[in-house]
Amino acid sequence: MSVRMEKVGDTGPLLPLVNMTPGALLARLALLLIVVLWTLPTFGLFISSFRDKDLLSFSGWWTALSVTERGEAARTGTDEDQVEENGAWFIRGEVFQPGEKEILAFGIRSTEPEVYAPGESADLGDGVTLTVQADGRYELRSPVEFDMSRGRRIYFRAAVPPKFTLANYGEIVASEGVDQAFINTFTVTIPSTIIPIAIAAFAAYAFSWTEFPGRQLLFAVVVGLLVVPLQMSLIPLLRMYNQVSHILPFFEAKSYPGIWLAHTGFGLPLAIFLLRNYIAGLPKEIIESAHIDGASHFQTFTRLILPLSMPALASFAIFQFLWVWNDLLVALVFLSKDLDQIVMTSQLRELLGSRGDNWEILTSSAFVSIVVPLIVFFALQRYFVRGLLAGSVKGG
């Protein structure tokens, strides 16, 4: 596997393929295989979310582009639809929308669903015949007037061409409240990102560039809190929220401000730790000259430190945004599952329980919930990596 040296001569993807060593070729194939394996599950979900609901449970997403064959049944019109032409009675219609499918064979009994070719006439007895065309048009012909309040059954095998639709998305918005959950998630995520950053930035500045008694000790305590896992906080906080809501009538145990503050609390140690490291590293001269010019700490912070700290703020913001967006545990504890509070992750888990077999709903809902992080990921990949690396030790 003399690939490392080959890096120098690696000019293009295809050209060196011929004179590549077996080892290098193997390495490429291995990588390709891993990438395909890693991408396939998400890709399958994505494709499936756009497939027709009926096809979805009938054939795998990997066949999405090929024609599917399957047996179906339909009913003709009733005697109300009949017309008289040249002394015979006809009922005409279509078993599906024209162009939607193609009939390969049909039948009039469920035991023999595929005995006639399209265009042939099936004899129903008493001179009544049924003809079904490949495009789905049918014609019932009778020498006497029809007297039937229910249509006749037609069984057929149809070739269904690939069909992609946005109907699944329409359905989850219309009946599953996914659009509301989407808005709710934003309502949780935006303040839960901005509030801890602002509070942490002020604190980080105070810990770096001001003097007050106990400064070092307090900072050490904040860093120490990094080790406290989220799970340690939940039970007492839940009890506290319930108690407070009994005492104060306007305070609800499950509310947006409640979860904002919770996310703020859980995000603060890391935010303060990271931002302090950054802000303390800013050049001393800048801050001193601001003070000589008579700026207060507040002015120094808002006009000087904040703009200079933008890179650190941005990477923490991305981390916190994704963390809150993807969180399930905190949302389950601090928000109700009612329509006006449920977030995407919680909704998705509910759907997994109640609609476990309705894959058209699950795939499209899942895609709606992951599309925002994916956009952030592809648009801001470099900052995303930085934020993630910085945040990966989060105690939550």
Site residues (CB under 8 A) for other proteins, limited to 11-40: 12-13, 23-24, 27-28, 30-31, 34-35, 38-40
Which of 20/167 has CB closer to other proteins? 20
Residue 310 touches other proteins, criterion: CB under 8 A: no
Cα–Cα nearest to 383, from 309, 308, 306, 316: 316
3-class DSSP state for residue 60? coil
Counting contacts by CB under 8 A, is residue 281 touching other proteins?
A: yes
277: nearest Cα among 223, 217, 214, 212: 223
Classify 99 as helix, strand or coil.
coil
Other CB atoms within 10 A of residue 239 CB: 11
- Does residue 155 contact residue 114 with C-beta atoms inside 8 Å? yes
| One character per residue 206-245, x = contact with other proteins (rule: CB under 8 A) | xx--xxx--x--x---xx-xxxxxxxxxxxxxxxx-----
**Contact between 99 and other proteins (CB under 8 A)?**
no
The answer to the question of residue 124 lying near other proteins (CB under 8 A) is no
Of the candidates 324, 367, 366, 372, the one whose C-alpha atom is nearest the C-alpha of residue 349 is 366
- Residue list 174-203, contact with other proteins (CB under 8 A): 180, 183-184, 186-187, 190-191, 194-195, 198-200, 202-203
Q: Does 282 bind other proteins (CB under 8 A)?
A: no
Q: Which of residues 377-396 bind other proteins (CB under 8 A)?
A: 377-378, 381, 384-385, 388-389, 392-393, 395-396
- 277 forms part of the interface with other proteins (CB under 8 A): yes
Size of the site for other proteins (CB under 8 A): 125
Nearer to other proteins, 95 or 270 (CB): 270
* Contact flag: residue 76 with other proteins (CB under 8 A): no
- Count the Cβ atoms, other than its own, within 10 Å of residue 112: 11
Question: Nearer Cβ to other proteins, position 124 or 304?
Answer: 304
Encode 62-80 in three state secondary structure.
HHCCCCEEEEEEEECCCHH
Q: Applying CB under 8 A, which part among 78-86, 89-97, 115-123, 263-271 lies near other proteins? A: 263-271
In whole angstroms, the minimum distance from the beta carbon of 366 to other proteins comes to 4
- The angle that helices 359-379 and 178-209 make with each other, rounded to 10 degrees, is 30
DSSP 307-370: HHTHHHHHHHHHHHHHHHHH--HHHHHHS-SSTTT--HHHHHHHHHHHSTT-HHHHHHHHHHHH
Cα(377)–Cα(374) distance, rounded to whole angstroms? 5
Name which of residues 38 to 67 contact other proteins (CB under 8 A).
Answer: 38-42, 44-45, 48, 56-62
Among 82, 287, 359, 387, which residue interacts with other proteins (rule: CB under 8 A)?
359
Closer CB to other proteins, 39 or 289, in the complex: 39
Q: Which of 64, 287, 317, 348 binds other proteins (CB under 8 A)?
A: 348
Residue 173 touches other proteins, criterion: CB under 8 A? no
**Start-to-end C-alpha separation, the chain:** 43
CA neighbor of 330 nearest in space, from 256, 222, 274: 256
